[in-house]
């Protein structure tokens, strides 16, 4: 799919259908031809753009419907271009047969059509028309001797509700269409401004992320993990925080998935490690640092350990590193993780299974992989005092940990009551707001005092 502004109004004038052939002199007749698509006889995007501008200039409320035939290139490849063209013709006829008032129909690209509908009667009337349109398009089409059923995706936007000018209207309808395609096609959507804003914010954030990592805008916060029997601090979990130079702090739930999409997770982890190295100078040397990683990053960390970067500060001793892997992320990949994990452990790095109890195949992961430590997911701990079933699950997990000789950590301990309860159940380690929220490096020294 490639709908969009330039697509419809194309810098290339009339688009592929109306281009004057080389050597021919464009005359008036040819320019007239440039407003039509020669396969279907409908307007092309040039003609369509003019019709849209005319309607908007005249102040008619207008709905723009963008139609994209799903997997048309596959259809073309399977049944051949000639029959493909017949499908396009059949679709064009369906559209013409709608006989709606004040419609303008166009073929905008290879497998894209556009429709202008009168929106004087508001969104509901437009929605009814679009629903009818989608039904019409899903009826089998004659393609030569064959009948073909093609599914389509439709994106809809209205003036003045979603935009006031042609450019905004096309952008809105394209955004709606993109969402339909992303959800698998075969459906329709009206533009949703909230989604569009979220999308814009994401795009902007993605543009900022790489620079932010380089500029050190993403910093480690530290949350202690406490030995529930001795009250001493065992290690610090490193949690990334993005102090954006011109926005409110951005939480990791938002930027970590973006980093993942952009293959920036390891640069991010590396920059955190470097920062931790600088931060920890005055802290007790027995403390370890737990980094959250996706399973795919374990190899990268091994490379980092084998060939430490030439930082002037030196590098972090692998024996002071822990790697937390979320159970959900590990999924069924436990087998692939085994060797990588063994090598990490051979360097003295501990590997922790995070969010235990959520996701699938958890117990299998414990059976297959020699974790040093397991964190019981917060959902069990938050409810433990009031939900006997949550408590029963935690008991079971603790017994399992004991049998496998794995250290168990309860995360999200918020109350003294829960800390006592868990200690009573034999849970050795705990983490949570009761002890401390994740804090910036300046506040770690006082934590070291408190939990010495």
Comparison of 175 and 393: residue with beta carbon closer to ligand G: 393
Site for ligand G in 388-447 (CB under 6 A): 411-414, 432-433, 438
- Burial level of 25, CB count in 10 A (0-12/13-18/19+)? exposed
Per CB under 6 A, the list member of 217, 279, 355, 407 interacting with ligand G is: 355
**Size (the chain), residues:** 452
Tokens at residue 382, please?
């938050």
Comparison of 208 and 411: residue with beta carbon closer to Mn ion: 411
From the list ligand G, Mn ion, none, pick the one residue 394 interacts with, judged by a Cβ distance below 5 to 8 Å according to partner type: none
- Give yes or no for a contact between 252 and 258, defined as CB atoms under 8 angstroms apart: no
Q: Could you tell me which residues come within 8 angstroms of residue 26 by beta carbon, excluding any fewer than 6 positions away? A: 20
CB 271, min distance to ligand G, A:
9
Tell me, residue by residue from 209 to 238, as one string, x for binding to ligand G by CB under 6 A and - for no binding: --------------x---------------
The span of 8-16, 288-296, 388-396, 430-438 binding Mn ion (CB under 5 A) equals 288-296
Tokens at residue 236, please?
């610090």
Kindly report whether the peptide bond that precedes residue 343 is cis, defined as omega within 30 degrees of 0.
no
- Give yes or no for a contact between 87 and 150, defined as CB atoms under 8 angstroms apart: yes
Bridge partners (DSSP) listed for residue 83: none
Q: Does residue 357 bind ligand G (CB under 6 A)? A: no
**Whole-angstrom Cα distance, residue 121 to residue 101?**
12
CB 276, min distance to Mn ion, A:
15
Q: Does residue 292 bind Mn ion (CB under 5 A)? A: yes
- Give yes or no for a contact between 188 and 157, defined as CB atoms under 8 angstroms apart: no
Tell me, residue by residue from 184 to 213, as one string, x for binding to Mn ion by CB under 5 A and - for no binding: ------------------------------
Per CB under 6 A, the list member of 253, 263, 282, 442 interacting with ligand G is: 253
From the list ligand G, Mn ion, none, pick the one residue 311 interacts with, judged by a Cβ distance below 5 to 8 Å according to partner type: none
- Give yes or no for a contact between 158 and 41, defined as CB atoms under 8 angstroms apart: no
Rounded to 10°, the helix 193-215/265-279 angle is 50
Alpha carbon 321 to its chain centroid, in Å, reads: 29
Q: Does residue 373 bind ligand G (CB under 6 A)? A: no
Per CB under 6 A, the list member of 90, 117, 240, 444 interacting with ligand G is: 240
R_g over Cα of the chain: 30
Site for Mn ion in 100-129 (CB under 5 A): none
Interacting residue ranges for ligand G, rule: CB under 6 A: 223, 239-240, 251-253, 256, 265, 269, 272, 292-294, 324, 326, 354-355, 378, 411-414, 432-433, 438
Interacting residue ranges for Mn ion, rule: CB under 5 A: 292, 324, 354
């Amino acid at each position: 799919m490639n709908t969009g502004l330039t697509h419809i109004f194309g810098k290339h004038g009339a688009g592929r259908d109306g281009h004057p052939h080389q050597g021919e002199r464009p005359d008036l007749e040819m320019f007239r031809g440039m407003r039509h698509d020669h396969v279907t006889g409908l307007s092309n995007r040039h003609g369509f753009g003019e019709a849209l501008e005319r309607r908007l200039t005249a102040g008619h409320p207008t709905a723009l419907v963008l139609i994209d035939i799903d997997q048309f290139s596959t259809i073309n490849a399977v049944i051949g271009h000639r029959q493909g063209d017949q499908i396009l013709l059949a679709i064009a006829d369906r559209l013409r047969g709608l006989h709606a008032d004040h419609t303008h129909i166009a073929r905008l690209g290879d497998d894209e059509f556009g429709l202008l509908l009168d929106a004087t009667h508001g969104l509901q009337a437009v929605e009814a028309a679009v629903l009818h349109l989608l039904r019409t398009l899903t009826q089998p089409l004659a393609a030569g001797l064959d009948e073909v059923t093609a599914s389509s995706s439709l994106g809809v936007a209205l003036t003045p509700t979603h935009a006031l000018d042609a450019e905004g209207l096309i952008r809105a309808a394209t955004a709606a269409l993109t969402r339909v395609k992303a959800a698998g096609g075969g459906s329709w959507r009206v533009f949703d401004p909230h989604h569009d804003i979220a999308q814009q914010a994401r795009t902007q954030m993605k543009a900022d992320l790489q620079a932010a990592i380089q500029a050190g805008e993403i910093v480690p916060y530290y949350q202690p993990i406490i030995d529930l029997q001795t009250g001493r601090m065992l290690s610090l979990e490193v949690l990334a925080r993005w102090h954006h130079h011109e926005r409110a702090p951005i939480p990791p739930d938002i930027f970590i998935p973006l980093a993942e999409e952009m293959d920036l997770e390891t640069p991010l982890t590396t920059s955190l490690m470097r920062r931790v190295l600088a931060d920890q100078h005055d802290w007790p040397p027995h403390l370890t640092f737990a980094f959250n990683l996706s399973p795919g990053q374990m190899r990268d960390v091994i490379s980092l350990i084998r060939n430490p970067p030439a930082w002037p500060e030196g590098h972090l001793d692998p024996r002071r590193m822990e790697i937390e892997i979320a159970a959900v992320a590990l999924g069924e990949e436990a087998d692939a993780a085994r060797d990588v994990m063994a090598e990490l452990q051979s360097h003295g790095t501990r590997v922790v299974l995070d969010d235990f109890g959520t996701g699938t195949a958890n117990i299998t992961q414990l059976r297959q992989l020699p974790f040093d430590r397991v964190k019981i997911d917060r959902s069990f701990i938050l409810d433990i005092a009031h939900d006997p079933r949550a408590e029963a699950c935690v008991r079971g997990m603790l017994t399992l940990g004991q049998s496998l000789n794995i250290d168990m950590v309860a995360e999200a301990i918020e109350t003294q009551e829960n800390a006592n309860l868990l200690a009573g159940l034999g849970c050795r380690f705990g983490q949570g707001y009761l002890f401390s929220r994740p804090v910036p490096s300046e506040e770690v020294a006082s934590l070291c005092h408190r939990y010495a």
